Amino acid sequence: MSVFPSPRPAAGGPIIDFEPAASCLEVEGLSLAYGETLALRDLSLRVPRQRVTAFIGPSGCGKSTLLRALNRLHDLNDEVRLSGRILLEGQDIHAPEVEVAELRRRVGMVFQAPNPFPMSIYDNVAFGLRLQGGIRKRQMDDIVEWALQSAALWDEVKERLGSSAWTLSGGQQQRLVIARTLAVRPEVLLLDEPASALDPISTLKIEELIRNLKSQLTLVLVTHNMQQAARVSDYTAFLQEGELVEYGPTDSLFTNPRLVRTENYITGRMG
C-alpha cells in the first residue's frame, strides 16, 4: 500500500520503522483542526492487534487529540473539523452505517483523571452492560466479577460492591474505570495518561495490568513518561506539533532513534 511510505531518512516525512503483520486500527492521512488551529497534520500510522502501542511527545503535540479521534469523541465538539480516514478492522469508522455508540463500545477509553460515576462499584461496572440491556442478574454478576478480576480489583472490593465508587482511592478508581470499560468487551482500549494522576505503587499496578491485558485486546497508551512507555509498550510513536515524527518498535526507538528530534526528546534535550 502506497499510503504508508517505506522507511526513508528524508527530512520532513515520518520515519516508520515497521509494517505490522496484523493491524487493528489504521490511520490514513488524518488532519484535525479545532476551529482555526491545526492539531494533527496528515498523520498516518497502523496500530498492531494485541500489542501495546504508546504515543509519546511533548505536551500539546496532539496525543490526546489523536486518541479521541479513534473513538470519535470529537463528534461532540462542533468546532472540530477533520479529514483523512480511520479504519477499525478495515472499516472506516466515519462511514454512515457505523453507529457511534457501537463504535465506542468496541473502542473503549480510559481518561487521565479517574472518572467513576457517582454510583456503587457494582453499578459502575454494570453501567455499559445495562445500556445494552437484555442481561440477566446472574450473568451480570458474573461479568462484573470477571471485569473486576481482569482489572486486578476484585479482591479489594468484593466485600463492598454496594458502596459508592467515590469512596475508593485514586488508583482503585482508575482500575475500576478500566474494569468498567472491560465489562463491555472492547476490542481496543485507549488509555490517555492513565497513571499520571496516581502514586508510584498504583502506577505500577496499572502498568502490570496493561501488560496482562494485551493477550485479550489491542491497547493504545498515551504517556508523557518515557520510562513508562519503555516499560510497557511494544511499539512507540513519537509525535511533535501534530505530526508523526518516528514510529517503531519500542526497543529500537529508545535505544537507537533514527532522527535527532526523537533523540533529543527521549534524552530530555527538548528543542
Ligand X SMILES: Nc1ncnc2c1ncn2[C@@H]1O[C@H](COP(=O)(O)OP(=O)(O)O)[C@@H](O)[C@H]1O
- Report the interface residues with Mg ion, using CB under 5 A: 64
158-177 residues near other proteins, rule: CB under 8 A: 161-164, 166-167, 177
Q: Residues near 268 by Cβ (< 8 Å), separated by ≥ 6?
A: none
- Strands 23-34, 37-48: pairing is antiparallel
Going by the DSSP 8-state scheme, the letter that residue 89 receives in this structure is T
Q: Largest Cα–Cα distance of the chain, in whole Å?
A: 59
Stretch that binds other proteins, among 28-36, 83-91, 119-127, 239-247 (CB under 8 A): 119-127
> Cα separation of 181 and 170, whole Å?
17
Stretch that binds ligand X, among 32-40, 41-49, 142-150, 182-190 (CB under 6 A): 32-40
> What's the closest the beta carbon of residue 238 comes to ligand X, in angstroms?
11
Q: Residues near 12 by Cβ (< 8 Å), separated by ≥ 6?
A: none
> What's the closest the beta carbon of residue 155 comes to ligand X, in angstroms?
33
Amino acid type, 236: T
Cβ-based nearer residue to Mg ion, 56 or 121: 56
Out of other proteins, Mg ion, ligand X, none, which partner does residue 76 contact, by CB within 5 to 8 A per kind?
other proteins
Stretch that binds other proteins, among 82-90, 116-124, 224-232, 262-270 (CB under 8 A): 116-124
Among 76, 90, 134, 269, binds other proteins (CB under 8 A): 76
> What's the closest the beta carbon of residue 65 comes to ligand X, in angstroms?
3
> What's the closest the beta carbon of residue 166 comes to other proteins, in angstroms?
6
Out of ligand X, Mg ion, other proteins, none, which partner does residue 34 contact, by CB within 5 to 8 A per kind?
ligand X
Q: Residues near 185 by Cβ (< 8 Å), separated by ≥ 6?
A: none
Helix residue spans in 183-225 (DSSP H) = 200-213
Task: Count the Cβ atoms, other than its own, within 10 Å of residue 98.
Answer: 14
Total of residues contacting other proteins (CB under 8 A): 34
Residue tagged 526513508 (cell numbers): 8
> Per rule CB under 8 A, is residue 132 in the interface with other proteins?
yes
Dihedral class, residue 176 (left if φ above 0, else alpha if ψ from -120 to 50, else beta): alpha
Backbone angles phi, psi at 22, to 5 degrees: -125, 105
**How distant is the alpha carbon of residue 86 from its chain centre?**
15
Task: Count the Cβ atoms, other than its own, within 10 Å of residue 119.
Answer: 14
> What's the closest the beta carbon of residue 195 comes to ligand X, in angstroms?
15
> Per rule CB under 8 A, is residue 82 in the interface with other proteins?
no
Contact flags string 191-230 toward other proteins, x per CB under 8 A:
----------------------------------------
Out of other proteins, Mg ion, ligand X, none, which partner does residue 119 contact, by CB within 5 to 8 A per kind?
other proteins
Residue ranges in contact with ligand X by CB under 6 A = 34, 37, 39, 57, 59-65, 77
